[in-house]
Amino acid sequence: MSAGKYHIVVQGDYLSKIAREAGFASFLTIWDASENKQLKELRKNPNVLFPGDRLFVPAKETKEESAATGKRHRFELQSEKLFLRIVLKDLKNQPLEGNDCTLSIETDSKILTSSSQGMLEREIIDPRAVAKGLLLDRGRAKDAAKVERQIPLRIGDLDPETTVSGQIARLNNLGYNAGEVPPHPLTPEEEKKLIKSLPFRSAVEEFQCDHLGMDSPAVIKQVVDGVCGEKTAKKLKEVHGC
C-alpha cells in the first residue's frame, strides 16, 4: 500500500477541493495528518493556502463492511458540506439587507436575497468542478435609484493575509482600490514593486484610518503609514472575515 504523497499547491487550490480530488469525504483526513502539522500552524485556515505550499495527502485506506448474501444493502457516504458565503456591505460598513441578487457558481445560477447580515450563501456540491462564479447585485426593489453591478468571483483563489497578493485581494473586496495582482505567482521584485505602489499604499492608509486607532488621533498618526505590517494584516483578516 502506498504511504501517501505530497501535493504542491497551485493558485486556486483549497483543501476541500484537494480532498475531494483525492477521494476523501472529509478534508480533515489530510489536514490532521502529522506530516501537515507545520503547514497547519502556518496557514490556520485549510481553505486559504498559498501556491508552493507542500501538503501531504495520505493514502486511502480500504474499509470492509459485513453484509448477508442474497439481500440488498444500502450504504451512505457521509461527506462534509461546503458553502460559499458572501457578505454585502455599504460604504459605511453596514450590511446591505434585502438586495435582490443572482449568485452563479460556474453555469449554475440561483436567485437570492441578502439576509439581515447582508449575507448570501450557496452550497458547493462538487468543489472539483468549481473555480469561478459571478454575483449580480440588483439592489433593493424598494430603492428608487438602483445601481446594478456584476462582481466576478474566483473561488478558492484567496491567498493568506500575510502575502501581498492576499492583502490586495482583501482590500479590493472591502472596497479599497489597492490595484491589480498579475495572474501568476509573484516574483520578489514584483512583490516589492506592489508594496511600494501608490494604489496599495493609499488603500492601506485608508484602511488604517477606518479601522485602527479610530478613537485616538495620536494613535492614528502612529499607525497610518501605508505599510501592511503584522497589526494591520491581522485587522484586515478580521474585518474581511477570513
- Residue 1's pLDDT is 45
* Torsions phi, psi for 140 (to 5 deg): -90, 140
Check residue 81 and give its pLDDT: 85
Q: What is the pLDDT along the chain (242 residues), one digit of tens a residue?
A: 458 899 999 999 999 999 999 999 899 999 999 999 999 999 999 989 999 999 999 998 766 666 666 667 565 555 678 999 999 998 888 999 999 999 999 999 999 999 999 999 999 989 988 899 999 999 987 877 777 899 999 999 999 999 999 999 999 999 999 999 888 888 999 999 999 999 999 999 999 988 886 655 655 556 789 999 999 999 999 999 99
d(CA 181, CA 166): 9
pLDDT at res. 227: 93
d(CA 218, CA 222): 7
One domain, residues 33 and 96: no
Nearest-angstrom CA–CA distance, 219 and 126: 47
Report yes or no on 62 lying in a domain.
no
Residue 76 lies in a domain: no
The DSSP secondary structure of 6-67, one letter per residue, reads EEE--TT--HHHHHHHHT-S-THHHHTSGGGHHHHHHH-STT---TT-EEEEPPP-------
> What is the rounded distance in angstroms from the CA atom of residue 22 to the CA atom of residue 123?
20
Indicate which CATH number applies to the domain containing 140.
2.60.40.10
Answer yes or no: is 69 within a domain. Answer: no
Q: For position 53, which CATH number holds?
A: 3.10.350.10
Judgement on whether residues 167 and 234 belong to the same structural domain of the protein = yes
What is the grid cell recorded at 118?
447582508
Distance CA 105, CA 223 (A): 39
Domain termination residue (choose one: 157, 190, 209): 157
**Is residue 93 located within the same domain as residue 134?**
yes
In angstroms, the Cα distances linking 202 to 11, 177, 208 are 26, 8, 10
In a domain, 66, yes or no: no
Domains in the chain: how many in total? 3
Query: 18 is in which domain, residue-wise?
Result: 5-57
Q: Of 125, 142, 157, which residue is a domain's last?
A: 157
205 assigned to some structural domain: yes
52, 8 contact by CB (below 8 A): yes
Q: What is the CA radius of gyration of the chain?
A: 21
Quick check: 96 and 114 in contact, CB under 8 A?
A: yes
